[in-house]
C-alpha cells in the first residue's frame, strides 16, 4: 500500500520542477514545504491535464466518489489496486477522464518483523521528485461546496520492494506519465498498461526509527537513518 510519503523541497524548487516538467509557471501555495510525513486526509500536490495544459493544485488524500452518501468514506479509500480498478464502481468511472499524479520524493513502508513493524524510507536513484499515479473525484456536499479528492494507485511489489512489503505505489516513468495524464487518451487498456511496478534497480531504501510512525510528526527527524 501507500500510506505516507514525503515532498522535501522548497517552494522555489517546486516551482522549478513544475516549470521544467509541466510548463507550469505559477502555483498558489497553500501548505508549507518541505513535508516530511504526508498522511491521509491531508492536501497533496497533484498534476492534471485539462485538455490543453497541465495544471497543479491540491487534492485531499482519500477519494470520495461523487455518489458517496458520506464524505467520511475517504479515509478508507486512500489507495486503489491497479489490478481491480475496472471492477470497482468507485474507480472504474474515473479511469477515462479523472486521471492525475501526486508529487512525492520518497514514500514510507513498514516491514513486518516478528511482532513489530520496522519503518523504511524508499527513494528513487534516478530522479528526485517522481509522479505517483492517482485518480481524482469531485464530491458535492449538502451545502453546495465541492470536495476534490484523490486516491493513490498501488500495484504488486517489484523484487526490491518484496523485501519490505507486498505492495507499492505506482511510480510512473516519464513515458507512462505522459500517457496517464493525457486527457485525450480514452483507451482504458492503454492507460492501464502504465500501471506496473517501477524497476527495482532504480530504487533504494534505509531503515528509520519509530518516530515516523506518528502522523503528527513532520520534521527532519522522520527521515533520520537508524
Domain contains 98: yes
Q: What is the mean pLDDT of residues 2-11?
A: 97
Catalytic residue among 16, 96, 109, 156: 109
pLDDT for the residue numbered 1: 82
Residue 112 has pLDDT above 90, yes or no: yes
pLDDT for the residue numbered 30: 86
pLDDT for the residue numbered 214: 98
Cα angle 67, 49, 121; round to 5: 85
* Residues of the domain holding 169: 5-213
Domain contains 223: no
Domain contains 109: yes
Residue bearing cell 472504474 = 92
* pTM reported for the whole predicted model: 0.97
How much of the chain, in percent, has pLDDT values that exceed 70?
A: 100
Determine if residue 174 is left, alpha or beta; phi over 0 gives left, psi from -120 to 50 gives alpha, anything else beta. alpha
Query: What are 132's three cell numbers?
Result: 505517483
194 is catalytic: no
Q: How far apart are CA 87 and CA 93, in angstroms?
A: 10
pLDDT for the residue numbered 198: 97
Residue 31 has pLDDT above 90, yes or no: no
Catalytic residue among 2, 100, 194, 222: 2
Domain contains 221: no
2 is catalytic: yes
Chain mean pLDDT for the chain? 96
Number of domains in the chain: 1
Q: How confident is the model at residue 191 (pLDDT cuts 50, 70, 90)?
A: very high
CATH number, domain containing residue 20: 3.90.1680.10
Domain contains 220: no
Domain contains 225: no
Domain contains 129: yes
Domain contains 168: yes
Query: How many CB atoms lie under 10 A from the CB of residue 195?
Result: 19
Amino acid at each position: 500500500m501507500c500510506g505516507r510519503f514525503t515532498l522535501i523541497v522548497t517552494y522555489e524548487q517546486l516551482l522549478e520542477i513544475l516549470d521544467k516538467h509541466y510548463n507550469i509557471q505559477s502555483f498558489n501555495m497553500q501548505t508549507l514545504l518541505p513535508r516530511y510525513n504526508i498522511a491521509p486526509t491531508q492536501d497533496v500536490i497533484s498534476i492534471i491535464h485539462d485538455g490543453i495544459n497541465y495544471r497543479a493544485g491540491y487534492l485531499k488524500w482519500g477519494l470520495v466518489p461523487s455518489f458517496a452518501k458520506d464524505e467520511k468514506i475517504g479515509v478508507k479509500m486512500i489507495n486503489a489496486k491497479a489490478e481491480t480498478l475496472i471492477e470497482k464502481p468507485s474507480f472504474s468511472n474515473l479511469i477515462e477522464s479523472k486521471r492525475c499524479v501526486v508529487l512525492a520524493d520518497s514514500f514510507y513502508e513498514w516491514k513486518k518483523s516478528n511482532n513489530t513493524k520496522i519503518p523504511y524510507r524508499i527513494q528513487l536513484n534516478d530522479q528526485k521528485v517522481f509522479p505517483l499515479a492517482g485518480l481524482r473525484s469531485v464530491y458535492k456536499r449538502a451545502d453546495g461546496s465541492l470536495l476534490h479528492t484523490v486516491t493513490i494507485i498501488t500495484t504488486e511489489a517489484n523484487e526490491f520492494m518484496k523485501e519490505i512489503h507486498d505492495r507499492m505505489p505506482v511510480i510512473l516513468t516519464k513515458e507512462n506519465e505522459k500517457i496517464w495524464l493525457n486527457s485525450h487518451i480514452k483507451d482504458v487498456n492503454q492507460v492501464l498498461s502504465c500501471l506496473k511496478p517501477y524497476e527495482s534497480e532504480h530504487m533504494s531504501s534505509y531503515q528509520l526509527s519509530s518516530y515516523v510512525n506518528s502522523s503528527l510528526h513532520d520534521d527532519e527527524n522522520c527521515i533520520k537513518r537508524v
